[in-house]
Amino acid sequence: MLATKQEVTDFMRTEFPQAKCIVEAVGEQSATIRHTVGFDELRPGGTVSGPVLMTVADCALYVAILGEIGIVSLAVTTSLTINFLRKPSSSKDIIGKCTLLKIGKSLIVGEVSLYSEGDVNPLAHVVGTYSIPKAR
């Protein structure tokens, strides 16, 4: 059932051609994602926009789920709560680290900590829920 890093990467590239999320690691109910930061990601004042952070978190959650239950294209986010904690660096990649909290038959819940690469303090914290189609 488990999908490998390569399988998840291939799937994400096909399904989400616009996505800039790079799969760094996946497995053991967790995932690590990298997102580069450039003009499109920045807000005035040199900070990364909130929606980019939400994108990275959503992606990290999705990748962790794919790694756990296999390639399921119909998994959809049902809810997501983000707390913004610190101002992101404008010159460092965003790293998202997801840990799954519950793997149910129909709902999977996980949390994601987001970092500017190299920082130990998270810049945002996310909890999200995915709904999984029944016939998996």
Residues that bind its own copies (CB under 8 A): 15-16, 18, 39-40, 43-45, 50-52, 54-55, 58, 73-74, 76-86, 101-102, 106-107, 109, 111, 121-122, 125, 127, 129, 131
Of 1 and 18, the one with the shorter C-beta distance to its own copies is: 18
Cβ 101 to its own copies, closest distance in Å? Answer: 5
Cβ 59 to its own copies, closest distance in Å? Answer: 9
DSSP conformation class of 86: S
Cβ 25 to its own copies, closest distance in Å? Answer: 22
Of 87 and 91, the one with the shorter C-beta distance to its own copies is: 87
Compute the distance between CA of residue 82 and CA of residue 25 in angstroms, rounded to an integer. Answer: 22
Compute the distance between CA of residue 135 and CA of residue 118 in angstroms, rounded to an integer. Answer: 41
Of 25 and 127, the one with the shorter C-beta distance to its own copies is: 127
Compute the distance between CA of residue 89 and CA of residue 92 in angstroms, rounded to an integer. Answer: 6
CB–CB of 125/85 below 8 Å? yes
Of 58 and 68, the one with the shorter C-beta distance to its own copies is: 58
Residue 124: which residues within 8 A CB-CB, separation 6 or more? 53, 57, 82, 83, 84, 85, 86, 113, 114
Cβ 131 to its own copies, closest distance in Å? Answer: 7
Tokens of 55: 């994108």
